[in-house]
């Protein structure tokens, strides 16, 4: 039926909008996965995962933990307290380096807590993967773009070995009498293999970028972001000073922890010898992918300390005590902090 309005023009009868279509079965599962209950369950599982990994590690490596704890029980508590102070300063140095590698300002308290939690994750996964993953998640939660966060991790990973090399050269100049470590230097074949492996890795990277065009854009974008951020950071003293000073202080603090533990057990070496031994050992085998450097670095440290004149048994006890103090003692608190940060959606 057609209605005639007052102006004489025809007008259609009003119609009503059709009801909204019911959600399809394909959309229903997505809604369920995004429900608050499922999200809470996922966060709870992620927060409990570090504790489960620690429990499994404790079952596998309980002998080392027991022996180290027994040796520390008979050590000088004053020196152990000093070692604990240096251990805490190591987390502060790590937070300084992380902040110095990023233009954005991060909340100091949460940054320090994230580095404490990252230390627990770093001792579970090799090659600092755990620490980098925790830090990258923290940066994203603070609103830092993924490209910039990844570039900061790359700058962090580059600055630390460069700063450690500078510290090593300073020690060589300041203490020339420590150059007697002949057997600690790699032989010619080892240097050839190292150079060959480095050249092969670079060649493979160049070939992949040349053959696979889809890799060029993300790689060039990442390099552009990294270079731009590095240039900006080095124009700001509030960034490059904590970046480089924190990276240079890290091996000194680690060596100071080992020296304090050694002094608590009666190690007959000086502080400079212990720190120099750590610099040599970590440089020689630091590239071996082991969780937190445990394993290869420990063996190299025992060998280096014994080369400086320490008894092998005492050097071994010092390294075991150092690992208990820096790994096992803060591991459970670090995992609890990691779980708390996940629960509060900081990570």
Instruction: For 122-154, write each residue's pLDDT tens digit.
Output: 766 655 677 888 888 899 888 888 888 888 888
Query: What residues are paired with 11 via a beta bridge?
Result: 3
Q: What is the pLDDT of residue 242?
A: 93
Q: Give me the number of domains the chain comprises.
A: 1
236 φ, ψ to 5°? -120, 110
Q: Is 270 among the domain residues?
A: yes
Is the pLDDT at 345 greater than 60? The verdict is: yes
Is the pLDDT at 72 greater than 80? The verdict is: no
Phi-psi group of 127: left, alpha or beta (phi > 0 → left; psi -120 to 50 → alpha; rest → beta): left
The model's pTM is: 0.72
Query: What residues are paired with 291 via a beta bridge?
Result: 126
Structure tokens at 226: 């990294």
Whose structure tokens read 């604990």?
Answer: 84
Is the pLDDT at 22 greater than 60? The verdict is: no
Q: Is 205 among the domain residues?
A: yes
Q: Is 20 among the domain residues?
A: no
Q: Which residues contact 116 (CB under 8 A, 6 or more apart)?
A: 91, 330, 333, 334, 337
Q: How far is CA 36 from CA 30, 40, 41, 142, in A?
A: 12, 6, 9, 22
Q: What is the pLDDT of residue 74?
A: 77
Q: Is 32 among the domain residues?
A: no
Structure tokens at 67: 């022996």
Q: Pseudo-torsion of CA 145, 149, 151, 154, nearest 10°?
A: -160
3 φ, ψ to 5°? -90, 145
Is the pLDDT at 163 greater than 80? The verdict is: yes
Q: State pLDDT tens for residues 272-287.
A: 999 998 988 887 665 5
**Mean pLDDT along residues 283-299:** 61
Q: Is 45 among the domain residues?
A: no
Whose structure tokens read 């320090």?
Answer: 112
Whether residue 318 contacts residue 265, with contact meaning beta carbons closer than 8 Å, is answered with yes
Mind spelling out the 3-state secondary structure of 119-173?
A: HHHHCCCECCHHHHHHHHHHHHHCCCCHHHHHHHHHHHHHHHHHHHHHHHHHHHH
Q: Which residues contact 137 (CB under 8 A, 6 or more apart)?
A: 347
Whether residue 316 contacts residue 68, with contact meaning beta carbons closer than 8 Å, is answered with no
Q: What is the pLDDT of residue 26?
A: 44
Q: Is 33 among the domain residues?
A: no
Q: Which helix (H) or strand (E) holds 42?
A: helix 36-60
Q: Is 158 among the domain residues?
A: yes
Q: Is 29 among the domain residues?
A: no
Domain that holds residue 247: 50-343
What's the sign of the alpha-carbon dihedral 35, 38, 40, 46? negative
Residue 31 confidence class, pLDDT cut points 50, 70, 90:
very low
Residue 297 confidence class, pLDDT cut points 50, 70, 90:
confident
Q: What is the pLDDT of residue 9?
A: 46
């Amino acid at each position: 039926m057609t209605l005639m309005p007052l102006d004489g023009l025809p007008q259609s009868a009003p119609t009503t909008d059709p009801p909204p279509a019911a959600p399809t079965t394909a959309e229903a599962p997505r809604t369920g996965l995004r429900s608050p209950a499922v999200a809470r369950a996922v966060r709870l599982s992620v927060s409990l995962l570090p504790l489960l990994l620690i429990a499994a590690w404790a079952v596998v490596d309980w002998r080392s933990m027991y022996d180290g704890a027994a040796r520390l029980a008979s050590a000088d508590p004053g020196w152990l307290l000093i070692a604990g102070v240096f251990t805490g300063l190591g987390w502060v140095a790590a937070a300084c380096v992380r902040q110095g590698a990023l233009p954005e300002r991060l909340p100091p308290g949460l940054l320090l807590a994230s580095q404490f939690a990252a230390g627990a994750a770093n001792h579970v996964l090799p090659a600092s993967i755990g620490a980098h993953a925790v830090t990258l998640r923290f940066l994203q939660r603070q609103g830092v773009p993924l490209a910039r966060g990844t570039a900061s991790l790359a700058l962090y990973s580059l600055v630390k070995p460069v700063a450690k090399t500078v510290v090593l050269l300073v020690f060589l100049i300041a203490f020339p009498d420590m150059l007697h470590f002949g057997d600690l230097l790699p032989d010619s074949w080892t240097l050839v293999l190292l150079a060959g492996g480095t050249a092969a890795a670079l060649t493979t990277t160049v070939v992949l970028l040349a053959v696979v065009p889809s890799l060029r854009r993300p790689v060039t974008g990442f390099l552009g972001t990294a270079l731009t951020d590095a240039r900006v950071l080095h124009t700001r003293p509030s960034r490059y000073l904590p970046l480089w000073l924190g990276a240079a202080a890290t091996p000194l603090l680690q060596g100071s922890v080992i020296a304090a533990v050694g002094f608590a057990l009666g190690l007959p070496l000086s502080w400079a010898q212990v720190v120099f031994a750590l610099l040599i050992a970590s440089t020689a085998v630091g590239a071996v992918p082991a969780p937190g450097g445990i394993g290869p670095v420990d063996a190299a440290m025992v060998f280096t300390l014994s080369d400086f004149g320490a008894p092998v048994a005492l050097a071994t006890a010092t390294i075991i005590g150092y690992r208990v103090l820096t790994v096992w003692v803060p591991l459970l608190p670090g995992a609890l902090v990691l779980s708390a940060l996940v629960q509060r959606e900081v990570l």
